[in-house]
Amino acid sequence: MSKIERVGVSLDKKLLSMFDELIAARGYSNRSEAIRDLIRDRLSEERLAKPATRAVAGVFLVYDHHSTELPRKLVDLQHSHLLQVIASTHVHLDHHNCLEVIMLRGKVREIEKVANDMAALKGVKLSKVNIMTTGQDLA
Amino acid sequence: MSKIERVGVSLDKKLLSMFDELIAARGYSNRSEAIRDLIRDRLSEERLAKPATRAVAGVFLVYDHHSTELPRKLVDLQHSHLLQVIASTHVHLDHHNCLEVIMLRGKVREIEKVANDMAALKGVKLSKVNIMTTGQDLA
Amino acid sequence: MSKIERVGVSLDKKLLSMFDELIAARGYSNRSEAIRDLIRDRLSEERLAKPATRAVAGVFLVYDHHSTELPRKLVDLQHSHLLQVIASTHVHLDHHNCLEVIMLRGKVREIEKVANDMAALKGVKLSKVNIMTTGQDLA
Amino acid sequence: MSKIERVGVSLDKKLLSMFDELIAARGYSNRSEAIRDLIRDRLSEERLAKPATRAVAGVFLVYDHHSTELPRKLVDLQHSHLLQVIASTHVHLDHHNCLEVIMLRGKVREIEKVANDMAALKGVKLSKVNIMTTGQDLA
């Protein structure tokens, strides 16, 4: 139900045509949508730089599921923290490796703490954390 | 049952003690594990820079689930590509927004293409893609 | 003397007011300039992902200038490549360390090769490369 | 004059041989140097995440030097801040564009503030800031 405003932007003709080319290649159907996405990205980046921002995240772990201790420790970590674990998905990659994506909700600083703890577990080969704002207010 | 080799590394005493401090804070229980993780990260980065590397990825999308067209289009994209969609998880964030994490498998270049197409869909507010190597051979 | 075009963008009122707040904090004097910068950044990113793009770069090296061999090897590297070294600036950081910023011009892939070679030199403690498009055409 | 310590690291044979391959391609002459660089990078990253860390930085600006106001404003910014401007280098890229690299010293948070202010100036097309620790103690 939010109100839409129409804003005029002055752009050099050449810059505009390069932008149109890019967004067509990316699959956008109109300019407004592409510019809104640029703006939301920038706002989101800005928020995530603050440790107290509430965010959602996915912690990606590639590990050898023959590590007998690891699964239990991972579950412990998911329960011992202030974070809300939303969901986790487990994928078999090959005979040795599996990928686990653990989705969390919490403050940026807490998410980073948990992600670090998980990355350091013996048996975890690769890890990455992907943090995003919740999209709230990013109309 | 892979063979373990013991390698000697010369380190300045001060550098070593700072490293020990860091890995303790990060929760590592021993140096070898921490150094192995540094090495795997670097190798993984290296591989991901090549568009033909086989990888796994999570595409994170925050979108307004009131966009009536979006869910169908997302499913279409998941089926129309050469990629193998492994799994997807849907999370309700608030009354308007939801988070969907779509896990994919494929070449780096294909993953990026699909992630771009998904990001450009009308209704998608924020998107991020997290690409990792499969961990294969990263003993 | 390029032509300016005026483009209309539809934005949710709330998104717009958050954007206005951000760009005020960042010191922008008007929206068009801020949106042009977002667009140029994205175009520039896109180009830099292609190894053949012509670019300018700064290679930052922190090294111990007591490494007797290093200065000669660095100069050798600057001369042995297809790259055009534009300038370099040397800064004394403390009794041991100095910072050298070497500005280069060339294709993305060549710049990365030289930056890697420089980073690997014995005595170089930290290195980072900053690659940018030349701004050409980014009206 | 610092003391060197020899540390033993256990590595899977395969992981080791991939690492050896990578560092040979990167031009490293020995493993210890490559591992030291991985460790210094990680320590440096860690420090830069804290806003109060003292750092050196290069702010890269691509701008149209026909903007009559810009050069004066840039100089003003360099003088009006708590930061120590170490040096700046100006490069002519083509008839319109020039690259200016401004080297600064200060706390991470101050550097980011100045870099933002410079990026927002009318006439600046592209900007990037490259922040590094000073290398102090990173033996």
pLDDT, position B139: 67
Q: Are C77 and C110 in contact (CB under 8 A)?
A: no
Residue C10 has pLDDT above 80, yes or no: yes
Residues A123 and A91 in one domain: yes
Residue written as tokens 């989705």?
A: A103
Question: Residues C57-82: pLDDT tens digits?
Answer: 999 999 988 877 888 888 888 876 66
Is beta strand C54-64 parallel, antiparallel or unpaired with respect to C124-133?
antiparallel
> Residues of D at the C interface (Cβ-Cβ below 8 Å)?
23, 26-29, 33-34, 37, 40-41, 44, 56, 58, 60, 62-64, 86-87, 89, 91, 93-94, 96-97, 99, 101, 103, 116-117, 119-122, 124-126, 128, 130, 132-136, 138
Question: Which ranges in A58-107 belong to alpha helices (H)?
Answer: 70-79
Residue D122 has pLDDT above 80, yes or no: yes
Which residues in chain D have their CB less than 8 angstroms from residue C125's CB? 37, 40, 135, 138
Residue A137 has pLDDT above 80, yes or no: no
- Pick the range with the lowest mean pLDDT from A63-67, B122-126, C13-17: A63-67
The residue type found at A95 is H
Mutate to test the interface with D, among C67, C105, C127, C130 (most CBs of D within 10 A): C130
The residue type found at D21 is E
Q: How far apart are CA D11 and CA B35, in angstroms?
A: 9
Which residues in chain C have their CB less than 8 angstroms from residue D27's CB? 116-117, 120-121
Q: How many Å lie between the alpha carbon of B18 and the closest alpha carbon of chain A?
A: 17
pLDDT, position A38: 93
Which residues in chain B have their CB less than 8 angstroms from residue A87's CB? 89, 91
> Residues of C at the D interface (Cβ-Cβ below 8 Å)?
23, 26-29, 33-34, 37, 40-41, 44, 56, 58, 60, 62-64, 86-87, 89, 91, 93-94, 96-97, 99, 101, 103, 116-117, 119-122, 124-126, 128, 130, 132-136, 138
Residues A117 and A63 in one domain: yes
Q: What is the extent of the structural domain holding A121?
A: 54-133
pLDDT, position C2: 67
Report the CATH number that the domain containing residue D122 is assigned in CATH. Answer: 3.30.70.1150
Does residue B3 form part of some domain?
no
Q: Which residue has the higher pLDDT, A107 or B75?
A: A107
3-state DSSP assignment of residue B89: strand
The average confidence (pLDDT) of chain D is 87
| Order of strands, sheet of A54-64, starting from the edge strand that comes earlier in the sequence | A84-92, A97-107, A54-64, A124-133
Residue A86 has pLDDT above 80, yes or no: yes
Nearest by CB to B125, which of A34, A120, A135?
A: A135
Residue D112 has pLDDT above 80, yes or no: yes
pLDDT, position D30: 87
Q: D85-116 burial, b for 16+ CB within 10 Å, e for fewer?
A: bbebbeeebeebbbbbbbbbbbbbebbbbbbb
Q: How far apart are CA A24 and CA B120, in angstroms?
A: 10
Does residue A92 form part of some domain?
yes
Q: Are B119 and A37 in contact (CB under 8 A)?
A: yes
3-state DSSP assignment of residue B94: coil
B60, burial (CB in 10 Å: exposed 0-12, middle 13-18, buried 19+): buried
Residues C58 and C101 in one domain: yes
Mutate to test the interface with A, among C1, C4, C12 (most CBs of A within 10 A): C12
Work out the pLDDT band at C128, boundaries 50, 70, 90: very high
Does residue D90 form part of some domain?
yes
Asked if the Cβ–Cβ distance from C135 to D101 is below 8 Å, we say: no
Question: Residues D32-81: pLDDT tens digits?
Answer: 999 999 999 999 998 998 889 999 999 999 998 887 788 888 888 887 66
pLDDT, position D139: 67
At D63, phi and psi to the nearest 5? -145, 165
Chain D: residue nearest C120 by CA?
Answer: D28
Residue written as tokens 């703490």?
A: A113
Work out the pLDDT band at B136, boundaries 50, 70, 90: confident
Q: Where are the beta strands (DSSP E) in chain A?
A: 4-12, 54-64, 84-92, 97-107, 124-133
> Residues of D at the B interface (Cβ-Cβ below 8 Å)?
2-16, 18-19, 22, 31-32, 35-36, 38-40, 42-43, 46, 137-139
Q: Where are the beta strands (DSSP E) in C46-123?
A: 54-64, 84-92, 97-107
Tally of structural domains, chain C: 2
Residue D1 has pLDDT above 60, yes or no: no
The residue type found at B16 is L
* Cα–Cα distance list, A133 to A4, A47, C11, C55 (Å): 22, 7, 19, 33
Give the mean model confidence (pLDDT) for residues A52-59: 92
Q: How far apart are CA B24 and CA B30, in angstroms?
A: 8
pLDDT, position B130: 93
Give the mean model confidence (pLDDT) for residues C91-110: 88
Asked if the Cβ–Cβ distance from A125 to B29 is below 8 Å, we say: no
Residues B62 and B124 in one domain: yes
Residue B2 has pLDDT above 70, yes or no: no
Work out the pLDDT band at A32, boundaries 50, 70, 90: very high
- Pick the range with the lowest mean pLDDT from A82-86, D95-99, D113-117: A82-86
Does residue C33 form part of some domain?
yes
The average confidence (pLDDT) of chain A is 87
Asked if the Cβ–Cβ distance from B94 to A26 is below 8 Å, we say: no
Nearest by CB to D40, which of C40, C126, C136?
A: C126
Give the mean model confidence (pLDDT) for residues B96-101: 88
Work out the pLDDT band at B97, boundaries 50, 70, 90: confident
Give the mean model confidence (pLDDT) for residues A64-89: 80
Query: Rounded to two decimals, what is the model's pTM?
Result: 0.82
The average confidence (pLDDT) of chain C is 87
Residues B64 and B39 in one domain: no
Q: How far apart are CA D46 and CA B19, in angstroms?
A: 11
pLDDT, position D62: 92
Residues A43 and A90 in one domain: no
ipTM for the assembly: 0.81
The residue type found at A122 is K
Nearest by CB to C138, which of D23, D121, D126?
A: D126
3-state DSSP assignment of residue B69: coil
Which residues in chain C have their CB less than 8 angstroms from residue D40's CB? 125-126
Work out the pLDDT band at D123, boundaries 50, 70, 90: confident
pLDDT, position D81: 63
C127, burial (CB in 10 Å: exposed 0-12, middle 13-18, buried 19+): buried
Question: Residues B8-59: pLDDT tens digits?
Answer: 999 989 899 999 999 998 889 889 999 999 999 999 998 998 889 999 999 9
Residues A24 and A65 in one domain: no
Between helix D31-48 and helix B13-26 the angle, nearest 10°, is 60
Work out the pLDDT band at C139, boundaries 50, 70, 90: low
Residues D30 and D68 in one domain: no
Residues D58 and D42 in one domain: no
Which residues in chain C have their CB less than 8 angstroms from residue D37's CB? 119-120, 124-125
Does residue C69 form part of some domain?
yes
pLDDT, position D135: 76
Question: Residues C39-54: pLDDT tens digits?
Answer: 999 999 989 988 899 9
pLDDT, position D29: 85
Which residues in chain C have their CB less than 8 angstroms from residue D64's CB? 135
- Pick the range with the lowest mean pLDDT from A16-20, A70-74, B99-103, C121-125: A70-74
Residues B90 and B128 in one domain: yes
The residue type found at B19 is F
Q: How many Å lie between the alpha carbon of A73 and the closest alpha carbon of chain C?
A: 35
Q: How far apart are CA D66 and CA A83, in angstroms?
A: 53
Asked if the Cβ–Cβ distance from A132 to B126 is below 8 Å, we say: yes
Asked if the Cβ–Cβ distance from B12 to D3 is below 8 Å, we say: yes
The average confidence (pLDDT) of chain B is 87
**Residue A72, Cβ neighbours under 10 Å: how many?**
9
Residue C138 has pLDDT above 80, yes or no: no
Does residue D67 form part of some domain?
yes
Residues C37 and C75 in one domain: no
Q: How many Å lie between the alpha carbon of D39 and the closest alpha carbon of chain B?
A: 7
Work out the pLDDT band at D107, boundaries 50, 70, 90: very high
Work out the pLDDT band at C9, boundaries 50, 70, 90: very high
Joined tokens for residue C33: 């300039």
Nearest by CB to C7, which of A3, A9, A39?
A: A9
Q: How far apart are CA C41 and CA C38, in angstroms?
A: 5
With a pLDDT cut of 90, the percent of chain D lying above it is 40
Q: How far apart are CA B108 and CA B115, in angstroms?
A: 11
Q: How many Å lie between the alpha carbon of C92 and the closest alpha carbon of chain A?
A: 31
Residues C22 and C62 in one domain: no
Does residue C25 form part of some domain?
yes
Give the mean model confidence (pLDDT) for residues C86-92: 85
Q: Which residues contact C135 (CB under 8 A, 6 or more apart)?
A: D62, D63, D64, D93, D96, D97, D99, D125, D126
Does residue C95 form part of some domain?
yes
Q: Are B134 and B84 in contact (CB under 8 A)?
A: no
Q: How many Å lie between the alpha carbon of B133 and the closest alpha carbon of chain A?
A: 8
